[in-house]
A and B are shown apart, each in its own frame.
Chain A
């Protein structure tokens, strides 16, 4: 039985990839992911805002209240380096490549066009096998149109593609009027893959303090449905490798993702909640299922239940919605 899959031109030993998460913060943790069976690791994201923030933060506190009072002209020792140039991130990629055999995928997160995209090249230089570009722009202006937002994504991809030769995959947001068209445009502009979907810090309210408190809630299996739908719809229709990264918790989730058309499924919340050993458990269950259902390879099932191959293509469209509503029985 072969669990092997091919993603972004990389031959992976199985279809479970560790998604971008705090689990890639240390070499030790990356090694544990490999030991648990992860086929590849997407590094935690290097945030554009973080790069800028760190730089200004360091400057602020080194400068704040200095040269103000005769006895205390400064408050901190001057360091050799403040790693504000993402040195730590790049070093980690370098060391990860030396420490593990599985592919390492860099991750860049940005909201604007600017010099930060140069980091794509630096990530490649550090040895990353591919790059996941994570773009999430929140257009609060009443003036900006959907098309303009899409153009920002396209421009950023163009800049990054100019900077690297390794495959680039885009981690998409689900909030496009036309996900399909957006996916198509990205692929036309050079995206080698698409990852469905991003999860973001969303504002939450602290009712006691009456404050807005951004909070990240870990995913659950129910959230698989949204990416499942879009992967199934797009599979076979665009020339890019697809991946699912939201709601993958169990072997069933992995199998569904693959059948929808994903080359790989990515896990993070499950690993954060129940430990990296879950990769091994899920892989084992996948194998058992495949064995029980007489599948010889993962390749066999990829896209097998996509819209193109599904007996009821309309199930992925509005009818499905109606059906769900109809099936719901209110409590008496």
Chain B
């Protein structure tokens, strides 16, 4: 009675092939695999989570892998998704089979071309890793809001639910588009499907060829634009004919469902896997049916199978001797609930006939689940389609009346709800919650499931303890750090089990939002039956904790199944491990009878020259104790896998890993568990008790990994969040931190300047300020003439430091008797943690240096006394970007509004849980926002225009209040200096006086005009309130437009160019890493010639765009190219001059990046080399100098003194090519050197002009 159609091999279907090769891959690879083989031109642009499809295609093309016609497809990166869509359109129009990959905003940028492509009835498939569209916040995670935003374009839409389906539907879509001439979006859920690793059957080239009708390919080609048979396409049409012409396309859409259905049948004949446009699974007499699409269907199918009980064992592999859980489910199953699931495969064109025919005639209630939200709509898209379909079938389509009546006696009730937005978990328990709701007389409509909505009360409740996870499956959770290689090892384990054994394997990986010290949680399932669980593991029977301190930060064992195995990487000896566990952890271990194994993997790694790499060691331990494979067999497989994975990298790497495998087992111990807990310490709170209320109630919960439990009411209504919350998230990720030596320090401030995380700071204060200094708080005499009798102190926030060592590397002060000792030296963090926490807290209480005192703040030494208003971001350890941002906030942060392009800087700048932008003691600090990737310059310009208007309006009102406030105050407000910090401070005092005079409270927060001057007559009260609302705009506001090279050189260049040309007073800071860093190192137009990057695997063959020189042509733009590691004074000058320049300013800042393949501790050395070889000339172009009759262009670096190769071959991005293709590297080096020499000559000439 169970109808499991999906992936079933029908007895009547003869397979033409031998069983296919199984592969263990993720969804992106599965889609790209087919797309690459069935296309001739591929236009690409990176966007998460689809980037990997483009990367794979580019790599395959660079290795000359062929498509099914024996040709290497042309793969080209564009400057944006809009550009990619245009290129696809053009390529299609001239006859090539063409594709692209994208997601989210990227898909939205393709919409205009999508209308065109569909309107021209063009065959193509775009593969979409469906992702949220940014609204109140950006989310890189999965839902259907992007795909749903394209519903009106006229594209077919086919949704895959699993990795196997991704591969299969990629081909079905390609075959169907050729026949139907309707272009297709092939969508699958971002991350859940695009990044899930699963064992699947790979389509052979023969099977792919069998599905692609060559006649249709030739037909596509025959429709191409060619001067040999010229036609016109893309005319403009008038009201007389456009409408009719548009309706001409109807027949294509009515035919398409049958075409897809036919294609699916052909696919079944070819592969044995049969799919349907709408696939029903569940009880044939179901009364409650859920309708949905995407990966959630898999979880729903599990739930439905469990609730119906039909074919439960066969489908989900629970052995007859399963445990208690299985027995519970079996009991439920025997109840035989009348429930079912209808999976929507072909969403567009939506075939009402097929849909209705797929529903069981017994259905009484339908719940439609949408993975998107349409605020203000009558319902979400799929819900509306289902309502329409059912309504038409019953009432509005006489031709189908009979069919509908056959299907159901009465029209079913339809409710709709939302689930899984932004990759929110969707579990069988939630499915059951929905099915239970459908039993009610008045079930909720327009509900949400998976969250607690305590504001509009739309959410459904469900029993989180309901689970369908089977006892016959290994469910393993691994808690690790990005840096320790946990995920890499687990991906490797999945491959071993998936490809070397008959078992099925699934892996899904969860990353936190930090780029340094990032925590990862790997979810691995293994078993003898196919795995359909598209949700995180709920009841692990194996848990590995690769970082011991996680046990103090997260409630890791809460979910553990009774009798589970725990593997610990412990810094302690086996006999010491137990007493080092928090009490709650001990109690849980005892209560759940968890078996504990321990290894000091770091010690083993160190002994085997593996540094901090514990991945192979922990992987070996997993195989040794999990029982997934016999131990000896597992060891052999691991070693085979090591050779396969690392062989290309050389024998020394293979040998090292072999040694790790051998050493691991010798050091693995089982811990004896006592009968009672003995620990005296508990889990510490996530944040300090001193944190503000919002941080305590919301931020701390997210930090602790309990964000899923926060109710709707906890969140701001409009995406507005408090600043300065990063200070409460003490991550303690550095193993070593800098320690200050007062006897050597020369107080130069360079260490503070280069610190990417603002964790090393200085203050100068009077002796009396230090009266309550804790013991051990270090100070030394301050070396400022202007500040006699002051003390100087440097303090490190050891709990926030990432241990990057940039400060130590840049420190110029060495001990004359022992040059290895500097004024800063790295020391282990743990012994320092408690004392330095006290010192740091005390340091924060010391007074800040006054901005209107004796210092001018034009030198590094002075500026580094200023409070950074950007601190403890999640940027990579040793990040080259953040020191520039921090410097900017030190100089101008209290008057700055930041427009931030999407990218690294928006992620470390604005990714929850915590925010690094912060405020000073007056409550002022940078106000920050991110609009999009492509529009950041325009976004910033809008800010400027708005602020200017408010400034002008305030001035206008001040003038009108001159009589009330007096001439002195009015003149001061209207004419006072806004160009210096002193002037700005004075202006702020005048504004405060204005507010007082207008009757505000001293705080200036709320105006109270009741006691305003008698001269304020009733009519002017309103105006006074207006002036109060804009009075702060009288004080200068700086607009900083911040982004990376991907934005400035590529996707946002058009807007940037326009904004620079506008003449408006905006400051643009380009953090140039010469690569798309955030999406994983794809080439941009800033990527230098000869550097290897993704999308430039053979070395970039063209030179880096000279952005500064291009902008210089305008003449009125201030431009500086800077590299603080080469000349920090020039960097400071550039920032000061740019901000002071009354027009547009552009600073291009060299920013070292992990995508350069360097030791990040040497970041400043790399900057220096880049300048010394002439690759990165330092210069400033100041239009104000031209006004003075001087040459506005000043070169700030000397003639190159080292050859280019002495710089580039210190970086992996260049050496990679030198290793892989030495001849190409030589050719490109020669060209690059010529280019550098040529450009330097040009700059010299420019600088020499009088």
Nearest A residue to B655 via CB reads A115
**Taking the complex as formed, is A189 at the interface, i.e. its CB lies under 8 A from any CB of chain B?**
no
**Taking the complex as formed, is B1081 at the interface, i.e. its CB lies under 8 A from any CB of chain A?**
yes
From the candidates A51, A61, A70, A81, name the one contacting B1157 in the complex (CB within 8 A). A61
Q: Which residues of A contact B51 (CB under 8 A)?
A: 71
The answer for the CA separation of A52 and B907 in the assembled complex, in Å, is 37
A210 and B819 contact, CB distance less than 8 A: yes
A70 and B1077 contact, CB distance less than 8 A: no
**Taking the complex as formed, is B1213 at the interface, i.e. its CB lies under 8 A from any CB of chain A?**
yes
| Number of B residues with CB within 8 Å of any CB on chain A | 59
The answer for the CA separation of A22 and B514 in the assembled complex, in Å, is 45
**Taking the complex as formed, is B437 at the interface, i.e. its CB lies under 8 A from any CB of chain A?**
no
Nearest A residue to B1095 via CB reads A77
B1213 and A76 contact, CB distance less than 8 A: yes
Name the interface residues of B555-578: CB closer than 8 Å to any CB of A: none
Name the interface residues of A224-269: CB closer than 8 Å to any CB of B: none
Nearest A residue to B876 via CB reads A65
How distant is B477 from chain A, measured CB to nearest CB, in Å? Answer: 16
**Taking the complex as formed, is B650 at the interface, i.e. its CB lies under 8 A from any CB of chain A?**
yes
From the candidates A69, A76, A83, name the one contacting B482 in the complex (CB within 8 A). A69
The answer for the CA separation of A74 and B63 in the assembled complex, in Å, is 19
A61 and B650 contact, CB distance less than 8 A: no
B1216 and A76 contact, CB distance less than 8 A: yes
The answer for the CA separation of A138 and B1226 in the assembled complex, in Å, is 34
From known contacts A67-B485, A77-B1092, infer whether A72 and B1079 are also in contact, taking CB-CB under 8 Å. yes
Q: Which residues of B contact A63 (CB under 8 A)?
A: 485, 488, 613
B1212 and A57 contact, CB distance less than 8 A: yes
**Taking the complex as formed, is B246 at the interface, i.e. its CB lies under 8 A from any CB of chain A?**
no
B1079 and A71 contact, CB distance less than 8 A: yes
Q: Which residues of B contact A66 (CB under 8 A)?
A: 482, 488
From known contacts A54-B650, A63-B488, infer whether A82 and B1079 are also in contact, taking CB-CB under 8 Å. no
Nearest A residue to B518 via CB reads A68
Name the interface residues of A54-98: CB closer than 8 Å to any CB of B: 54-59, 61-85, 88
**Taking the complex as formed, is A26 at the interface, i.e. its CB lies under 8 A from any CB of chain B?**
yes
Name the interface residues of A20-71: CB closer than 8 Å to any CB of B: 26, 51-52, 54-59, 61-71
The answer for the CA separation of A149 and B1209 in the assembled complex, in Å, is 34
From the candidates A56, A67, A83, name the one contacting B653 in the complex (CB within 8 A). A56
Q: Which residues of B contact A58 (CB under 8 A)?
A: 649-650, 653, 1216, 1219
B649 and A51 contact, CB distance less than 8 A: no
**Taking the complex as formed, is B48 at the interface, i.e. its CB lies under 8 A from any CB of chain A?**
yes
Q: Which residues of A contact B1222 (CB under 8 A)?
A: 83, 88
The answer for the CA separation of A115 and B1222 in the assembled complex, in Å, is 25
Q: Which residues of A contact B1093 (CB under 8 A)?
A: 76-77
The answer for the CA separation of A115 and B650 in the assembled complex, in Å, is 12
**Taking the complex as formed, is B769 at the interface, i.e. its CB lies under 8 A from any CB of chain A?**
no
B1212 and A76 contact, CB distance less than 8 A: yes
Q: Which residues of B contact A78 (CB under 8 A)?
A: 59
Q: Which residues of A contact B520 (CB under 8 A)?
A: 67-68
A67 and B491 contact, CB distance less than 8 A: yes
A73 and B1080 contact, CB distance less than 8 A: yes
B58 and A65 contact, CB distance less than 8 A: no
Q: Which residues of B contact A57 (CB under 8 A)?
A: 1212, 1215
From known contacts A61-B1212, A69-B511, A69-B515, infer whether A80 and B1220 are also in contact, taking CB-CB under 8 Å. yes
From the candidates A26, A70, A84, A210, name the one contacting B1219 in the complex (CB within 8 A). A84
The answer for the CA separation of A59 and B1213 in the assembled complex, in Å, is 13
Nearest A residue to B1154 via CB reads A65
Q: Which residues of A contact B1215 (CB under 8 A)?
A: 57
Nearest A residue to B55 via CB reads A77
Q: Which residues of B contact A211 (CB under 8 A)?
A: 819
The answer for the CA separation of A84 and B648 in the assembled complex, in Å, is 8
Q: Which residues of A contact B52 (CB under 8 A)?
A: 73
A67 and B488 contact, CB distance less than 8 A: yes
Nearest A residue to B491 via CB reads A67
Q: Which residues of A contact B674 (CB under 8 A)?
A: none
The answer for the CA separation of A67 and B481 in the assembled complex, in Å, is 9
Q: Which residues of B contact A68 (CB under 8 A)?
A: 481-483, 487, 511, 515, 518, 520
**Taking the complex as formed, is B652 at the interface, i.e. its CB lies under 8 A from any CB of chain A?**
yes
The answer for the CA separation of A66 and B62 in the assembled complex, in Å, is 22
How distant is A287 from chain B, measured CB to nearest CB, in Å? Answer: 36
How distant is A281 from chain B, measured CB to nearest CB, in Å? Answer: 27
The answer for the CA separation of A65 and B511 in the assembled complex, in Å, is 12
A75 and B1081 contact, CB distance less than 8 A: yes
From the candidates B486, B518, B653, B1081, name the one contacting A59 in the complex (CB within 8 A). B653
**Taking the complex as formed, is B1094 at the interface, i.e. its CB lies under 8 A from any CB of chain A?**
yes
Q: Which residues of A contact B819 (CB under 8 A)?
A: 210-211
Interface digits, B475-511 against A, CB 8 Å rule (1 contact, 0 not)?
0000001110111100100000000000000000101
Interface digits, B626-647 against A, CB 8 Å rule (1 contact, 0 not)?
0000000000000000000010
**Taking the complex as formed, is B364 at the interface, i.e. its CB lies under 8 A from any CB of chain A?**
no
A67 and B482 contact, CB distance less than 8 A: yes
How distant is A4 from chain B, measured CB to nearest CB, in Å? Answer: 35
From the candidates A55, A79, A82, name the one contacting B652 in the complex (CB within 8 A). A55
Q: Which residues of B contact A62 (CB under 8 A)?
A: 649
B650 and A71 contact, CB distance less than 8 A: no
A74 and B650 contact, CB distance less than 8 A: no
How distant is B622 from chain A, measured CB to nearest CB, in Å? Answer: 16
**Taking the complex as formed, is B400 at the interface, i.e. its CB lies under 8 A from any CB of chain A?**
no
**Taking the complex as formed, is B961 at the interface, i.e. its CB lies under 8 A from any CB of chain A?**
no
**Taking the complex as formed, is B1229 at the interface, i.e. its CB lies under 8 A from any CB of chain A?**
no
Q: Which residues of A contact B1157 (CB under 8 A)?
A: 61, 64, 75-76
From known contacts A61-B1157, A61-B1212, A77-B59, infer whether A71 and B652 are also in contact, taking CB-CB under 8 Å. no
From known contacts A65-B1154, A75-B1155, infer whether A70 and B653 are also in contact, taking CB-CB under 8 Å. no
From the candidates A55, A64, A70, A79, name the one contacting B191 in the complex (CB within 8 A). A70
B649 and A82 contact, CB distance less than 8 A: yes
In this complex, which of B191, B515, B648, B876 has the most chain A Cβ atoms within 10 angstroms of its Cβ? B648
Q: Which residues of A contact B814 (CB under 8 A)?
A: 210
A82 and B1219 contact, CB distance less than 8 A: yes
B1081 and A72 contact, CB distance less than 8 A: yes
Nearest B residue to A65 via CB reads B1154
B1154 and A51 contact, CB distance less than 8 A: no
How distant is B225 from chain A, measured CB to nearest CB, in Å? Answer: 34
The answer for the CA separation of A65 and B1097 in the assembled complex, in Å, is 19
Q: Which residues of A contact B1216 (CB under 8 A)?
A: 58, 61, 76, 79, 82
A82 and B648 contact, CB distance less than 8 A: yes
The answer for the CA separation of A82 and B62 in the assembled complex, in Å, is 15
**Taking the complex as formed, is B544 at the interface, i.e. its CB lies under 8 A from any CB of chain A?**
no
Q: Which residues of B contact A73 (CB under 8 A)?
A: 52, 1080
The answer for the CA separation of A233 and B455 in the assembled complex, in Å, is 99
A70 and B140 contact, CB distance less than 8 A: yes
The answer for the CA separation of A248 and B814 in the assembled complex, in Å, is 42
Q: Which residues of A contact B1226 (CB under 8 A)?
A: 26
Interface digits, B502-535 against A, CB 8 Å rule (1 contact, 0 not)?
0000000101001100101000000000000000
How distant is B813 from chain A, measured CB to nearest CB, in Å? Answer: 10
Nearest A residue to B514 via CB reads A69
The answer for the CA separation of A85 and B654 in the assembled complex, in Å, is 12
From the candidates B651, B876, B1078, B1097, name the one contacting A77 in the complex (CB within 8 A). B1097
From the candidates A61, A67, A81, A85, name the one contacting B651 in the complex (CB within 8 A). A85
Q: Which residues of A contact B48 (CB under 8 A)?
A: 70-71
Binding site for B on A (CB under 8 A): 26, 51-52, 54-59, 61-85, 88, 115, 210-211
Binding site for A on B (CB under 8 A): 48-49, 51-52, 55, 58-59, 62-63, 140, 191, 195, 481-483, 485-488, 491, 509, 511, 514-515, 518, 520, 613, 646, 648-653, 656, 814, 819, 876, 907, 1077-1081, 1092-1094, 1097, 1154-1155, 1157, 1212-1213, 1215-1216, 1219-1220, 1222, 1226
Instruction: Give 5 nearest A-B pairs by CB, closest first.
Output: A68-B482, A55-B650, A72-B1080, A84-B650, A67-B487
Give me 6 other A-B pairs in contact (C-beta within 8 A), A54-B1219, A58-B1219 excluded.
A26-B1226, A57-B1212, A68-B482, A70-B49, A77-B55, A80-B648
List 5 interface pairs A-B (beta carbons < 8 Å), by A numbering.
A67-B491, A67-B509, A68-B482, A69-B482, A77-B1094
